[in-house]
Amino acid sequence: AQKVTQAQTEISVVEKEDVTLDCVYETRDTTYYLFWYKQPPSGELVFLIRRNSFDEQNEISGRYSWNFQKSTSSFNFTITASQVVDSAVYFCALSEANAGNMLTFGGGTRLMVKP
Amino acid sequence: GAVVSQHPSWVICKSGTSVKIECRSLDFQATTMFWYRQFPKQSLMLMATSNEGSKATYEQGVEKDKFLINHASLTLSTLTVTSAHPEDSSFYICSAQRSGRRETQYFGPGTRLLVL
């Protein structure tokens, strides 16, 4: 069974601070994918990144970076120099190749960036 | 590419009526579509998996007679909430998997349903 845990339900930071959103997952499959999505107040899910289980390289995209560590089953997401527009709910998700790539979402982390 | 639309974006209806929500993949073919429900301040919960030309697979606890899913073409899946009640008020989101590229789901913008 697959499971995704986002232990932080809410985080509040002041603009320009760096913030890391934690994600821990459980899976028995050797082939799986990890995702991060952003959900702004409008509700639409915005795709941020997909990582497959065979690629542990960290990734940086502008102010966003992701740290994938299979040894600790974690896929953490860091926003550098946060901005008010980063305020949203962020979801980590997992899909297993042997389960038809159905997505299991974590509980989400609500990030509030204050000016 | 990979745009998914949902219609309508907002629905307000009286208790007891049925509501149909459409999910369309606009620029790709989707063999499989998924329907999720999200209650306020909660995560997305998978309701059902919809495969083109076959019956949908429902998750445990989701009533298949209440949430009718039809996936008649490679670009359209519909979710009908039959005899809607206030507890069905939620945010319904669909996603589509591109045929032959199952590793990524593309999400629609969601439909907010309010049952009075």
Q: Is the minimum CB–CB distance between A99 and chain B shorter than 8 Å?
A: no
- pLDDT tens, B64-110? 999 999 988 999 999 999 999 999 999 999 999 887 777 788 999 99
List of residues 6+ apart from A55 with CB closer than 8 A: A68
- pLDDT tens, B3-37? 999 999 999 999 999 999 999 999 999 889 999 99
Cα separation of B33 and B104, whole Å? Answer: 11
- Interchain proximity B109–A43, CB inside 8 Å: yes
Q: Which of B21, B31, B33, B44 to mutate to test the interface with A (most CBs of A within 10 A)?
A: B44
Nearest residue of chain A to residue B97 (CA atoms): A101
In this prediction, residue A98 has a pLDDT band, given cuts at 50, 70 and 90, of confident
Is B18 in contact with B84 (CB distance < 8 Å)? yes
Cα separation of B91 and B93, whole Å? Answer: 7
Q: Indicate the residue type of A29.
A: D
Angle at A34 between CA A33 and CA A38, to 5 degrees: 140
